[in-house]
Structure 1
Amino acid sequence: MTALTEFQRLEAQGVWRETPETRQREVIVSLGEATLTLMDPRTDKPLSHWSLPAVTRLNPGRTPALYTPSTGEPDETVEIDDPLMIEAIERVQRAIATHRAKPRRLRGAATVLAVLLMLVGLIFWLPDALVRHAAQIAPPAQKRTIGLAVLSDMEAAAGPVCRRVSGQQVLDWFTPPFVGADSLVQVVPGPLNGARRLPGDLYVLGEDLLAASPGPEAAAGHLLSARLAQDDDQVTLDALRHAGLMTALRLMTLGTLPQGAMKGYGESLLAQPLPRPDLAVLPAAFAERDLSTEPFARSIDPTGTTVLPLIEADPTRAGTPARDLLTDEQWLALQQICAG
């Protein structure tokens, strides 16, 4: 520090008292980088060493200046009347204090920054973490409620769910091997180009797929593909992210879904491409269910160009017989699910 360098060889006369009971004696006060050394003027023998940061002036503003090496009882004191030495001691002490204050300020700034970062992290991380937690702990009935709310919003653009009893009975009978025994499959009149999974093991098919297919194999393939593309927790999380934090909190605390929580979400899903799994995993899943991959592949690309690996991996080509999913009468009933 500049102050220490400037005064490192400064000396002055002083009057030292070792204890209140001893008599005063003249000494030479020598200013070092961080110490005051009191020396016998006859022998230059050091009598006492004081740490400058601990030196306290007992009579600020008065001369001679009276110093003690501690803030407790001033047992040891020294009087100095040399103005240059007094100024030097004051400047060196200020320099030391400033040097000490900088780390404290840096620590304070670092603490404030850490707190701010924590607050920012909580603001941006906590809401999504709570929504994730709500999606994970939601029981099947709650997820189904969310899925039905999404489907209800979807009906505004895709048309009301087709309710013909005979067609729904066929749908309920042949779809469990592809989507699970507890799943619910619904058909809407609007085009979906396949099947989409909603929360609560709810699946939606478009009537366009049923009308354009020669049999139920393509519909079965799309349902299986939708199941493999996303799990129930993921589609529930996506729906709750749309609904927002307050909906997630209400779902966790009260177990109810606010009316209109999924408004706009079903329609936005219709504008998005259908999620599809890696085509490489499909042949094995189709083979496990004795289902041909070709009708599914041709429904995606009638030319077969973009789905050729899926067609070539058709398990029926390897000699595995395809299962008969429906009779002609059942298939006709399914195709007419939206009629009347």
Structure 2
Amino acid sequence: MTALSAYDRLEATGLWRATPDEQRRDVIVSIGEATLTITDSNDRALAHWSIPAIARANPGHTPAVFHPDGDPGEILELPDNESEMIEAIEKLRLAVERARPHPGRLRMVSLVLTFAAVVALSIFWLPGALLNHTVSVVPEVKRQEIGAALLENIRRVAGRACEIDNAQAPLTRLSTRLPSPSGPSQLIVLRGGVSEAVHLPGNIILLGRALFEDFEEPDVAAGFIIAEHLRASLQDPLRRLLDRAGFAATVRLLTTGALTDDTLQAYTEHLLTATPHPLTDETLLAGFKAWSVRAAPYAYAMDITGETTLGLIEADPFASSPPDPLISDADWLRLQNICGG
């Protein structure tokens, strides 16, 4: 007990009695190693009290009355003039009390830590875990239903889709030539609202009419389709929707299988104004190689000068040996007129 070192030569006089029936007698009190020694005038030991087991009967009053913890019949009185000894005993008692385990306090700390852990899990782990679970269990038919609802909202803003009869078959053939990992996507060309490409849940890709009308080759539209496949492989379109909609929408979809009209409307507005998630040149080039499509036409469509897309142009996997045609020239001509001019 390091606190004893300051008092190892301290002595005081006091009155002591062993039992309530005995007379108090003059004694000398000294502090030893973890004990309080009580001796008579002949230096004969009368009692040894363990300092950790000393209790005070009258805190804050004098003369100070101490007794062994659990035995108030044996007492030691120290008068006012022995304040140094009184202070020493009190300090040692306090030091011992602080060093003792406090089960109640420990339980409280444990409860607080447990509550904090639960709160932390609720804030940081539960939303992500629930989102992952929801995305993994929503069936494809439900994804298509959500995608169709979003498409209907977009049509109210962007107008009806381009659906000239003789261009639908070529559009299907282009989709078959550029399938997503889960199969050919449903490609829909819009008259307005979408300038490039937007991916909806249910493997639906919306394309702006400019991708067909403003370019001389189908590689540009193909590049945007490939980019959407790559974005979907990095983050599921349904997950993007739920990330944006929030925790409550995720819980609702998981428990009821539906999203509110307000949630779908808000996400529709976001889709039509959001900037597509950027893809690295390495990711894009791997995609163009996998789908056998030239990268340079897409790169120049993104930047007509080629300055910001030079990496795609210089590393085009088919710069020297063109891949098989995406679709026939006749199909491409029909697609260029898909919106009726």
Pairwise same-fold verdict (TM > 0.5): yes
**How many residues of Structure 1 are paired with residues of Structure 2 in the alignment?**
334
Q: Conserved in 1, the CA contact under 8 Å of 2:219 and 2:298?
A: yes
The residue matched to 2:155 in structure 1 has which SS? Answer: helix
Other-structure match for 2:133: 133
1: CA distance, partners of 2:326 / 2:116: 61
Distance 1:148 1:102, change over 3 A: farther
The residue matched to 2:41 in structure 1 has which SS? Answer: coil
2: CA distance, partners of 1:267 / 1:110: 48
Q: Conserved in 2, the CA contact under 8 Å of 1:194 and 1:222?
A: yes
After superposing the two structures, state which structure 1 stretch, 95-104 or 240-249, moved more.
95-104
Q: Give the TM-score taking structure 2 as reference length.
A: 0.77
User: Residue 38 of structure 1: CA displacement?
Assistant: 1.0
Q: Which amino acid aligns with 1:131?
A: L
CA displacement, residues 114-154 of structure 1 (integer Å, 9 cap, x when unaligned): 46754653453233443343234333333333333333333
Distance 1:149 1:89, change over 3 A: farther
User: Which structure carries more relative contact order (alpha carbon 8 Å, separation 6+)?
Assistant: 1
C-alpha root-mean-square deviation of aligned residues, in Å? 4.1
CA displacement, residues 284-329 of structure 1 (integer Å, 9 cap, x when unaligned): 432443322232223222333333332333344322444251341x
- Taking the TM superposition and a 5 Å limit, the aligned residue runs for 1:170-209 are 170-180=170-180, 181-190=183-192, 192-209=194-211
CA displacement, residues 255-309 of structure 1 (integer Å, 9 cap, x when unaligned): 2222332222222222222334222343443244332223222322233333333
Report sequence identity in percent: 29
Other-structure match for 1:334: 335
**Runs of 5+ consecutive residues of structure 2 not aligned to the other structure:** none
Q: Conserved in 2, the CA contact under 8 Å of 1:14 and 1:80?
A: yes
**Runs of 5+ consecutive residues of structure 1 not aligned to the other structure:** none
CA displacement, residues 196-250 of structure 1 (integer Å, 9 cap, x when unaligned): 2222322110011111122322111210122113427443222112222222112
Q: Which amino acid aligns with 2:239?
A: L
User: Residue 156 of structure 1: CA displacement?
Assistant: 4.1
Q: Are 1:294 and 2:280 an aligned pair?
A: no
Q: Which amino acid aligns with 1:121?
A: A
Distance 1:49 1:99, change over 3 A: closer
Q: Conserved in 1, the CA contact under 8 Å of 2:3 and 2:95?
A: no
User: Residue 253 of structure 1: CA displacement?
Assistant: 1.8
Q: Conserved in 1, the CA contact under 8 Å of 2:26 and 2:40?
A: yes
User: Residue 157 of structure 1: CA displacement?
Assistant: 3.6
1: CA distance, partners of 2:186 / 2:121: 38
2: CA distance, partners of 1:263 / 1:14: 88
Other-structure match for 1:30: 29
2: CA distance, partners of 1:58 / 1:284: 84
User: Residue 50 of structure 1: CA displacement?
Assistant: 1.1
User: Residue 86 of structure 1: CA displacement?
Assistant: 8.6
Q: Conserved in 1, the CA contact under 8 Å of 2:147 and 2:201?
A: yes
CA displacement, residues 87-123 of structure 1 (integer Å, 9 cap, x when unaligned): 9548843773388459979979976874675465345
